[in-house]
Amino acid sequence: MFPFSARLPIGLPSNAIANAIAELRSAGAAIVDLTETNPTLVGLPYPPAAVAALADPRGLTYQPESLGMAPAREAVAREHARNGVSIDPSRIVLTTSTSEAYALLFKLLCDPGDDVLVPQPGYPLFESLAGLESVRVNPYRLDYHGRWSIDRQSVASALTTRTRAVFVVTPNNPTGSMLRAADRDWLAELAVARGLAIISDEVFRDYALRPGADAVSLAGESRALTFVLGGLSKSAGLPQMKLGWIAVSGPDADVTRAIGQLDVICDTYLSVATPVQIAAPALIEAGAAIREAIHGRIRRNLDALQELLQPASAVTLLQPEGGWSVVVRVPATSSEESQVLRLLRDHHVLVHPGYFFDFSSEAFIILSLLPKPEEFDEGVRRVLAGIGIQSVAS
């Protein structure tokens, strides 16, 4: 047997939920999918300019720029300016995706065996991305007491002598929670004191639903070396265009060194395609209309969800402040997996269990707010029926 790298899992393991989906689909069953988060598959209108921009003949000429072509970086800087943050285009690095941005930052900040702190509940991709770079992840908790906040003691407990960075996701996926101003200041002070970088994934920043007055971004943070991630996947609803970015801020000397090292890393790969860089200004501009459509969809579905859940006192919506997903607490009459499987097999509706996102207790289900309204409403009714609750709108 050939000895492949220990950084890789033996394979992509299946699970009971994936197996049940495959069985139902092979039998021709129609499943209402309340986990769909691909905006291009849920019937949203896309302006023709979103595709036409890729036909620019300049894309036929290879123009390698390690950190990204200047007009594209300038367009990203204008996006930050739209949100009230001034960032020099020279401090913006283009990537093919947020996942690649994470990989670049692991290379920049970590040696094999180092660790980073990640929020829990949170997106499960962190561990895989870190593992491919021989980096460990240590979780810190997000606690819910009417709204989500960082459990600071869990951050302190997770720190080791090999911790290199603290990750923040705001709005968080899947909780929809946003970073509080007090937590931002505390994290910045901690990062300076411990020599840590801050990595803030803000891909859902444009999708505030009901943020608190103290919700903040880390873009432009000047106290600690900070990397803020964004991309067309969410800001313009264009995941297939494969364009993300990193905005670097902090003390000038640290930023200069970080940009210089990222230049070396990016020059090794030169992964961002020329056509999408040339199209970036037009794609970002077209994204405004797409964002508006997504906003309308997620707000409509959130309102519908609250109405459908109104009589269900045993079911609690953990109010999201932003993003495309919501967390619903359901009665812990059985395990999350068994409840999700029952909903799937008996009611043909798919939701995610909370343990997919490392919730520390049960029972939670995760729903996407992106599906078509009629499918979303029907799916929620099926969920309520599956847990023995009659919807007020049924």
Where residue 346 sits, what CATH number does that domain have?
3.90.1150.10
Within-domain flag for 10: no
| Exposure b/e, 315-342, CB count within 10 A at least 16 = b | bebbbbbbbbbbbbbbeeeeebbebbbe
- One domain, residues 280 and 344: no
Query: Please, what is the angle between helix 336-347 and helix 16-26, to 10°?
Result: 0
User: Which CATH number does the domain housing residue 211 bear?
Assistant: 3.40.640.10
pLDDT for 394: 45
Same domain, 184 and 208: yes
Domain-located, residue 123: yes
Nearest to 392 by CA among 381, 379, 382: 381
Are both 75 and 192 inside the same structural domain? yes
- SS3 state at 207: coil
Q: Are residues 71 and 130 both part of a single domain?
A: yes
Instruction: Flag whether 87 is in a domain.
Output: yes
Measured between alpha carbons, how far is 262 from 294 in angstroms, rounded to an integer?
33
The last residue of one of the domains, among 271, 286, 301, is 286
Give me the pLDDT at residue 392, please. Answer: 46
Q: CB within 8 A of 264, min separation 6: which ones?
A: 66
**Same domain (yes/no): 53, 39:** no
**Domain assignment present for 84:** yes
Same domain, 282 and 304: no
* DSSP secondary structure code for residue 333 in this structure: S
Same domain, 266 and 320: no
- Together in a domain, 236 and 365: no
Count of other CB atoms within 10 angstroms of residue 170: 28
Q: Is 7 contained in some domain?
A: no
The model carries a pTM of 0.95
* 3-class SS of residue 324: coil
Strands of the 115-120 sheet, one edge to the other: 92-95, 244-249, 226-231, 197-201, 163-169, 115-120, 136-144, 148-150
Tell me how far apart the alpha carbons of residues 157 and 271 are, in angstroms, rounded to a whole number: 37
Q: Identify whether residues 310 and 357 lie together within a single domain.
A: yes
pLDDT at 390: 56
Which tokens sit at 53?
A: 């921009």
Distance (Å, whole) CA 232 – CA 303:
26
Three state DSSP letters for 339-374: HHHHHHHHHCEECEEHHHHCCCCCCEEEEECCCCHH
Phi, psi for 180 (deg, rounded to 5): -85, 150
Final residue of a structural domain among 267, 286, 305 = 286
Same domain, 174 and 237: yes
In this structure, the answer to whether residues 149 and 252 fall within a common structural domain is yes
What is the pLDDT tens value at each position of the chain, 394 positions in all? Answer: 788 898 887 777 789 999 999 999 999 999 999 999 999 999 999 988 778 889 999 999 998 999 999 999 999 999 999 989 999 999 999 999 999 999 999 999 999 999 999 999 999 899 999 999 999 999 999 999 888 999 999 999 999 999 999 999 999 999 999 999 999 999 999 999 999 999 999 999 999 998 888 999 999 999 999 999 999 999 999 999 999 999 999 999 999 999 999 999 999 999 999 999 999 999 999 999 999 999 999 999 999 999 999 876 789 999 999 999 999 999 999 999 999 999 999 999 999 999 999 998 999 999 999 999 999 999 999 999 998 765 544 4
Q: Three-state DSSP class for 180?
A: strand
Structure-block tokens of residue 280: 């970036």
Total tally of structural domains belonging to the chain: 2
Strand order from edge to edge, sheet including 325-329: 316-318, 325-329, 364-368, 352-353
225 with 352, same domain? no
Sort 34 into a burial class: Cβ within 10 Å, 0-12 / 13-18 / 19+.
Answer: buried
Structural domain of 180: 49-286
Any domain includes 4? no
Does any domain span residue 2?
Answer: no
